[in-house]
Chain A
């Protein structure tokens, strides 16, 4: 363990300089460090990968307390211009609260969110003028049900100060982009859930914000709408708008986002590029085994002593995470002996699965 300190320092320093975990691993292995030591420390070090782009939004020490305790604790993140940034967390992890604070709908109990626009720093929670630069689509569409799709867009365009001519042209252009031209005169309450969601995102874009925030945007969308959404968000980001997307499902956003922050128990546990996160979480294999007796006590003990990093029982199965699946299988066969194995499956877990575990 004497070697651990230099490894830790190197890893921390490399990550702080903006290197990805994958690059750090490569370097360490090339330098001759034992693989288990490198994996161990790369696994323990939290990713806090900074944006390589010019920051447009900074969240510093944001804390929010609710009736049942702390919802967000000392959240730190930074989003660059034109960046697609994902926030992932399980239900109740504080994603929506964080999104509302970032959008200025809620004030944090501590910390601050700042927009860096045209060289000026504006506090989102304290300066109402910051709202002009933010577009927000909450988890549930925020629209007037008794106005048409077109009227909603025109109404919010007018509130954001668009001229009467621009209100209508922008509304029509956006409706065309998202494929809702045919529904422009329908009342919102008569639209499908997916159409409402799309219209809500469109409303968030009507004033061409510097930062677009979408809370769970893929919900209610069919695959075609999802593809259209990601394409549109890509286009928006390419125009220089920072896009922050919160989702329960990493799979939804890991392809689209430049960086992803993982929110766990009100704290940002990891921030990194999807590839990095995948590497961090995917070096372990997942072995799912089920026996007739479903008595896994001895097996778990043996696996823990040998190759398993994490073991849990889920339903009828024993789930084992290990970087060495071959050794795990060998132990299983040895321990289980004549016990009848109903099923056995070895796979590399998705980030989502690791995250959820």
Chain B
């Protein structure tokens, strides 16, 4: 037979004969599963005993007490607070509830004080849960009524705002028109007030300009008249030449007709020029007389313009003041309009059912699988069983072998240290496998449906157990006495438990500790078990976690074997064996 199997066989024979450790190793998980299963099974009565002190009975207090009884709690009435409190101290009741008098939903009398022993603080949650059920309905009704009133008020305000907004719009339009008229008037006034160079307009300048115009025109006329006459002569000659030419009569008649037309036009121009020239020569006296009249009129206009400019300045100033007041009024109107717009836009809260506002989110806690508390906590419990089973069985086996009377003979046998170390691990693994089998089989038998995928769960549990057997063995090879090794493995177990999120939720931990906790094998294992056991996820779906678990297991196993080989048999061991006997 292979030395490995020979050693493992001897381990089991010896464990079988030392009944206590084997019984603890195998019966322990059985007991835990039974107790935990029954404790967490919500089908079983909770058995909570609660004392109540109700100074003045009300409908609500009756509803609450009735709800507690519906939650399988035993309710005992007390008249005095002291007696009720005393019943908690003596353990007669788990908690004492003191109701306000009279118990209702108003702020002044809605208190229920729960007197509870600190060690049973977790029960407060269950009691509160029981209390909340009747209060929740009342609370929702009140909130709904209040919200309905609020919505009605809001609708009324919205209507008022809409009406006010129409007036405001009209007012704004009028205001705008006024401002526009005012702006035009102001512009006109400014135009009136514009500086006109009245003083620059003089009669002499008009006269000089007029005379210059007359002289220029006269000169032109004088030069034009001879030229026009000469033109007539030329046309006459041209007609004669046409008549004398070889042109056909029709051609001659056509040309002569055109020449006659030109001649008549030139004649007309000549006559006009002569007449204009005559007029110019006789108009000197009239121009002077006219210029005197114009000068008088200009002086009057100047006076009137100066008076107008003075009045325009005053009007412009008044226009400015008016414009400022109008603008200010417009800003106020705009602001008011914005407010009304906001009120009116509250129509965007398109709520018709007040209950949606009074309870916008209604959280409903519903377990994803199986029985409520059991399904959630059970995987962790399974992991804890194999974790501590593995951690505690490993030092027992290592030290059972190390301190066996036959240790020296074994160390001298052909079975090398590594074979002995592997045999130790295999024995521990066998026991943990038995533990895993017991818990899975019992769970499946006693709490059907609790574990969705028993085989995957069993495999993962064995892997987890192997990991902790190896960890325990590694520690035991470093530590000389069984007591110290057990203490060390226990400490490691507690540390892992503390970092598992079971005692302290991981989000509460400092970031570094939380990061470390993420790699806690117990946490990883619980995660895998939760997936496989509760949700029935395939073993392969959790392949990442399983691979990490196996890798850690291999590293630890190599370490444990190396430590065992390195330790070997020392002079101290021999001395201890001699002394022990």
Could you list which residues of chain A lie within 8 angstroms of chain B, going by C-beta atoms?
64, 66, 96-97, 100, 103-106, 128-129, 131-132, 134, 136, 138-147, 151-152, 155-156, 158-161, 164, 187-188, 200, 203-204
Contact = CB atoms under 8 A, between A and B. Distances in A.
Contact of B18 (A136, A143, A146, A203): A146
Interface in B546-581: 569, 571, 574, 577-578, 580-581
In the A-B complex, the 10 residue pairs with the smallest Cβ-Cβ separation, listed nearest first, are A140-B581, A142-B409, A142-B408, A159-B413, A158-B6, A144-B406, A146-B17, A146-B14, A143-B405, A159-B415
B577 A97 contact: no
Q: Which of A152, A159, A203 has the most CB of B within 10 A?
A: A159
Contacts of A106: 569, 571, 574
Nearest to A159: B413
Contacts of A97: 571
Contacts of A129: 414
Nearest to B409: A142
A141 B405 contact: yes
Given A142-B406, A146-B14, A159-B414, 19 more contacts: A66-B571, A104-B412, A105-B569, A106-B569, A106-B571, A106-B574, A131-B413, A131-B414, A132-B414, A136-B409, A138-B408, A138-B578, A139-B578, A142-B410, A147-B10, A147-B13, A159-B410, A159-B413, A188-B405
A155 B14 contact: no
A146 B415 CA distance: 20
Contact of B405 (A104, A144, A155, A204): A144
Nearest to A138: B408
Interface of B: 1, 3, 6-7, 10, 13-14, 17-18, 404-416, 569, 571, 574, 577-578, 580-581
A100 B413 CA distance: 13
B412 A136 contact: yes
B571 A159 contact: no
Contacts of A203: 409
Contacts of A104: 412
A156 B406 CA distance: 10
A138 B407 CA distance: 11
Contacts of A152: 406
B571 A134 contact: no
Contacts of A64: 571
B13 A140 contact: no
Given A138-B577, A141-B405, A142-B407, A103 B569 contact: no
B406 A140 contact: no
Contacts of B577: 138, 140, 142
Contacts of B17: 146-147, 187
B143 to A, nearest CB: 72
B413 A160 contact: yes
Nearest to A106: B571
B412 A155 contact: no
Nearest to A132: B414
Contacts of A132: 414
25 contacts: A66-B571, A96-B578, A103-B412, A105-B408, A105-B569, A106-B574, A128-B414, A136-B409, A138-B408, A138-B574, A140-B578, A143-B409, A144-B10, A144-B14, A144-B404, A145-B404, A146-B17, A147-B13, A152-B406, A156-B409, A159-B414, A160-B414, A187-B17, A188-B405, A200-B409
A141 B581 CA distance: 9
B580 to A, nearest CB: 8
B398 to A, nearest CB: 16
Contacts of A156: 406, 409, 413
B482 to A, nearest CB: 16
A34 B416 CA distance: 60
A128 B571 contact: no
A100 B575 CA distance: 11
Contacts of B416: 128
Nearest to A164: B1
Most chain B CB within 10 A, of A64, A158, A160, A164, is at A158
B411 A105 contact: yes
Contact of A134 (B13, B406, B412): B412
Contact of B6 (A66, A96, A155): A155
Nearest to A107: B568
B354 to A, nearest CB: 78
A97 B573 CA distance: 12
A161 B1 CA distance: 8
Nearest to B410: A159
B574 A100 contact: yes
Nearest to A203: B409
Contact of A145 (B405, B411, B413, B574): B405
A104 B10 CA distance: 24
A142 B405 contact: yes
Interface hub of B6, B14, B18, B407 (most chain A Cβ within 10 A): B6
Nearest to B2: A158
A203 B406 CA distance: 10
Contacts of B415: 159
B407 to A, nearest CB: 7
Contacts of A100: 574
Contacts of B580: 140
A125 to B, nearest CB: 12
Nearest to A140: B581
A146 B18 CA distance: 8
Contacts of B414: 128-129, 131-132, 159-161
B434 to A, nearest CB: 19
A5 to B, nearest CB: 44
A119 to B, nearest CB: 21
A97 B574 CA distance: 9
Nearest to A144: B406
A311 to B, nearest CB: 36
A265 B446 CA distance: 70
Contacts of A151: 10, 13
A64 B574 CA distance: 14
A263 to B, nearest CB: 17
Nearest to B574: A100
A134 B412 CA distance: 8
A208 to B, nearest CB: 14
Contacts of B569: 105-106
Contacts of A105: 408, 411-412, 569, 574
A195 B569 CA distance: 26
Nearest to B419: A159
> Max chain B CB contacts within 10 Å: which of A103, A129, A136, A155?
A155
A117 to B, nearest CB: 15
Contacts of B404: 144-145
A147 B411 CA distance: 18
Nearest to B579: A140
A143 B405 CA distance: 5
**Which of B3, B405, B571 has the most chain A CB within a 10 Å cutoff?**
B405
B571 A158 contact: no
A131 B416 CA distance: 11
A89 to B, nearest CB: 15
A159 B412 CA distance: 10
A141 B580 CA distance: 11
A106 B578 CA distance: 14
Contacts of B412: 103-105, 131, 134, 136
